[in-house]
Amino acid sequence: MGIVSRMFEARSASYSAKDPALAELWGGRRTASGQDVTPDTALRVSAVYACVTILAQTVAMLSKSVKDVSEDGSKHILKKHRVHRLIRKRPNRWQSPFEFFEMMEGHRLLRGNAYAKIAYSPGRQQNELVPLHPDHVFPFVITPSGATYYMSDNSPCPPEGSKLWYHYFPLNGEAEVLSAEEVLHIRGFSVNGIVGLGVIKRAAQEAVGLAMAAEEHGASMLKNSAQVPAAIKHPKKLNDDAFSRLKSDLRAGGEYAGSGSSGKTIILEDGMDIVKLGMTADEMQYLETRKFQVEDIARIFNVPLILIGHGDKAPTYASAEQFFMSFKVHTVQPIVVRWEEAMQRDLLYPSEIDDVEVDFDLDSMMRGDAAARAVYLKARFEMASITPDQVRIYEGENPTGKEEAQRLYLQSGMLPASMAGQKPLTGDKKEVKK
């Protein structure tokens, strides 16, 4: 392990993103478009940055709590629980809960895995969640026979009875081996149940590489006054003075070079002519390519185009509402379930598994939509599902404490299904037998 340790200790050194060997080491490779795509370089593409931040911030903004689950199904928030304090107040000494969850979900989206070391106080109480960079963490398993296997995202499933460990190489200091009980691990989609597949590495490299190449091509075109590659043809041979003068005018900083010279008319001497060597932006469908790459990247991250500011047509209110509902149900909810179950697995003690759960409140996505909240609360109030004081608490207001505000109300015209078709009794009158 000495050679491996020395190799990873130098990981913090700078490297060229154009070096394909190093790009492969950092979870990237040279794409068919000629771009070296890694999780870090992919963030230079605006569509990737928009998708990652919208998903990471959505997870981070959700209200989180730890709840006690009673036998009758009722739930109560455990404000004094150690995990509740970590996810609601202070996960560690330098991050707020929003910052912690935003960064961790960003790690998972870009690299397929998010890790945090569970730091314990002297009394063996969970004290902090210390984030670990995924590039510095290497899961491995020890099989019942004693063999050790380091796992990658395409490794086979470990044998039954294997124990999971993590080898962590910090920025400074010696490598550290952590047990599964000491690590909060949020995986993406996995083929072996140990290491999640990185979206950039496995699904989006070519799409991101093409987007990077198209953006680089556009910048190069503007740098050269939006002109296509061309050659200057002369019927004979230029003398040295004419060649030097022409070269000086066309090179960087010359009379006809750069975007500042766009629109200037070039003067050609001695019967010279310009011959086009490449295609124009229209001929190569440059704009269509850039639009398609945005759609392709949004498809990979499962984010509606409207949320990243892309779309040829302004959506109507009804269609936008359906987009947001689809985003909540098909994109955010699976991520939330993944987080809830992983935190219950890694942060709760075995004795708590049946009675305690971690909850991410998806209803907090309505916090910025007063009209949606009003419709939701009105429907619950009219079906006797919530009291007036509970409505006030939901809206962040203090309860009145009055007896009538703590009662459930039901519309007078509604009856239990068992009483349908029966004549209701009024007052103390008794039914008269005929």
* Residue environment code for 233-250, b if the CB has 16+ CB neighbours within 10 A, otherwise e: eeeeebeeeeeeebeeee
Q: What is the pLDDT of residues 350-366, one digit of tens each?
A: 999 889 999 998 887 77
pLDDT of 376 = 80
pLDDT-derived band at 286, boundaries 50, 70, 90: low
pLDDT over 80 (residue 335): yes
Do 34 and 22 form a contact (C-beta atoms < 8 A)?
Answer: no
- In this structure, of 153-162, 268-277, 292-301, 348-357, the range with the lowest mean pLDDT score is 268-277
Q: Locate the domains of the chain by residue range.
A: 2-199, 206-287, 368-414
Which H or E run includes 7? helix 2-9
Q: Report the C-alpha gap between 370 and 395 in whole angstroms.
A: 10
The amino acid at 385: S
Mean pLDDT of the chain: 79
Mean pLDDT value across residues 417-429: 59
Instruction: For residue 107, give both structure tokens.
Output: 């790690």
Do 169 and 11 form a contact (C-beta atoms < 8 A)?
Answer: yes
pLDDT of 375 = 80
Q: Is the dihedral of CA 204, 209, 212, 213 positive or negative?
A: negative
Q: Report the C-alpha gap between 414 and 131 in whole angstroms.
A: 54
pLDDT of 251 = 67
Regarding predicted confidence, which is higher, 12 or 118? 118
pLDDT of 250 = 67
Q: Report the C-alpha gap between 413 and 360 in whole angstroms.
A: 36
* pTM of the complete model beyond 0.75: no
Query: Mean pLDDT: which of 67-81, 179-193, 306-320 is highest?
Result: 179-193
Mean pLDDT value across residues 398-426: 71
pLDDT-derived band at 263, boundaries 50, 70, 90: low
Strand partners, 29: 37
Instruction: For residue 385, give both structure tokens.
Output: 């599902």
Using CA atoms, how far residue 320 sits from 126, 326, 370, in Å, is 43, 10, 16
pLDDT-derived band at 11, boundaries 50, 70, 90: very low
pLDDT of 192 = 93
Do 340 and 69 form a contact (C-beta atoms < 8 A)?
Answer: no
Alpha-carbon dihedral 371, 377, 380, 386, rounded to 10 degrees: 180
